[in-house]
Amino acid sequence: MNAPLHVALGSRSYDIVIGDGLLAQAGSLVAPLLRSRRVIIVSDDMVAELYLETLQASLEGAGLRHESIVLPHGEQTKRFAVLEELLDRLLAFTPDRKVTLIALGGGVIGDITGFAASILLRGVDFIQIPTTLLAQVDSSVGGKTGINARQGKNLIGSFYQPRLVIADIATLLTLPRRELLAGYAEVVKYGVIRDPQFFGWLEQEAESAFAGDKKALSHIVRESCKAKAAIVASDERESGIRAVLNFGHTLGHALEAETGFSDALLHGEAVAIGMVLAMRLSMMRGLCREQDCERLEAHLEKVGLRTSPRAIGKFDTARLIEHCTHDKKASDGGLTFILAEGIGKAIIAQDIQRKELEKLLDKALL
């Protein structure tokens, strides 16, 4: 375990610890932060099967009382009915306000548990133990919590920071490659939006991470968390710069919506295509060169991510633009898009016009 990273948010500050085998040390890592010696673990069935016992044993080793709730895995868990069930089950344990919830799982479990923590008894502490690459590099850090609504994804939620994030690299070794790849799209995003050196490192070393090299995985998680922690610390509630984290997300989200937020296209897979489209849009505006677009596409394709909507299916330009205009990031004078001035610097453009998107998409969907 290297020195922890720190998310500097005044009284809501916390550490991110990253290392190999941390689950077995979780008890001693969390104990000093607890308001009472009682925790409730929330996990999903697939993760619980793999990791719940190790976590429970570690908590017991540290003399902590624990209870566990296991929810079904999958995006369908992030909905009102399951939140209600979760709150019911939490209250059945008759917790007091000093209890701490521990989210053990991917982004789904982190998001719903964090949201439950923010409203249970008007707010109790929670700790993130992310077990997917996406959750380790993105969703467990920054305090966005929530569930999906009938009207769209992540429309109900809160900003509520965890007290600690524990990223055990070893858990990534049991992730299906497809999930690892989907999380990896968010990793590439950090290189494109703010760190050309990291992007270059990924071009050279990503394959070893995919082959299970824990040192490479650890570097990936660490650099990504460093980037996210810095951005979140400067704009916790996304009133400005935090929006750059949405690079590739507006059109990615439109593609996800058109595929019904289903297994046909995972979030990270959609972000990979969305990033390529955002880069092409940046080029159309003269912000970057054709070589930047090609470099991004080549890297994503090399690791096995699809880079064109055509690789997924047939999409309609008007429908995709319709989703973009409904996106919660849309503002008055045009659409808000995160663009890139080459690899390593993102900017926020708030004046993207419909005709620019038509031109981009007509070509991309041909």
Nearest CA-CA partner of 306 in 273, 259, 268: 273
295 binds, among ligand NAD, ligand GLY, none (CB under 5 to 8 A by kind): none
User: Which long-range contacts link 234-237 to residues 24+ away (Cβ below 8 Å)?
Assistant: 236/9, 236/12, 236/142, 236/143, 236/159, 236/161, 237/159
- In DSSP notation, 6-30 reads EE--GGG-EEEEEETTGGGGHHHHH
Return the number of the residue (78 or 144) whose C-beta is nearest ligand GLY. Answer: 144
Judged on CB neighbours under 10 Å (0-12, 13-18, 19+), 365 is: middle
d(CA 359, CA 206): 33
d(CA 290, CA 359): 16
175 binds, among ligand GLY, ligand NAD, none (CB under 5 to 8 A by kind): ligand NAD
CA–chain centroid gap for 236, Å, is: 15
Out of 127, 129, 225, 245, point to the residue binding ligand GLY (CB under 6 A).
245
* Residues noted as catalytic: 122, 144, 186, 228, 238, 242, 246, 249, 253, 267
245 binds, among ligand NAD, ligand GLY, none (CB under 5 to 8 A by kind): ligand GLY
Q: Which amino acid is at 222?
A: R
Return the number of the residue (44 or 297) whose C-beta is nearest ligand NAD. Answer: 44
CA distances from 201 to 73, 206, 211, 299, 359 (A): 33, 8, 16, 11, 33
Q: Which residue is nearest to ligand GLY (CB)?
A: 245
CB of residue 179 to ligand NAD, shortest distance in Å: 5
242 binds, among ligand NAD, ligand GLY, none (CB under 5 to 8 A by kind): ligand GLY
Nearest CA-CA partner of 109 in 167, 43, 199, 187: 43
Return the number of the residue (245 or 273) whose C-beta is nearest ligand GLY. Answer: 245
Phi/psi for 249 (5° steps) reads -90, -25
Return the number of the residue (238 or 358) whose C-beta is nearest ligand GLY. Answer: 238
Return the number of the residue (19 or 142) whose C-beta is nearest ligand NAD. Answer: 142
Q: Per-residue x/- mask for ligand GLY, residues 128 to 167, rule CB under 6 A?
A: ----------x---x-x-----------------------
Who contacts 213 (Cβ-Cβ below 8 Å, separation ≥6)? Answer: none
Residues near ligand NAD (CB under 6 A) are 44, 46-47, 50, 73-75, 78, 105-109, 111, 131-132, 134-135, 138-139, 142, 144, 153-154, 171, 174-175, 179, 267
d(CA 100, CA 266): 31
Q: Does 110 bind ligand GLY (CB under 6 A)?
A: no
Return the number of the residue (64 or 147) whose C-beta is nearest ligand NAD. Answer: 147
Applying CB under 6 A, the residues found at the interface with ligand GLY are 138, 142, 144, 238, 242, 245
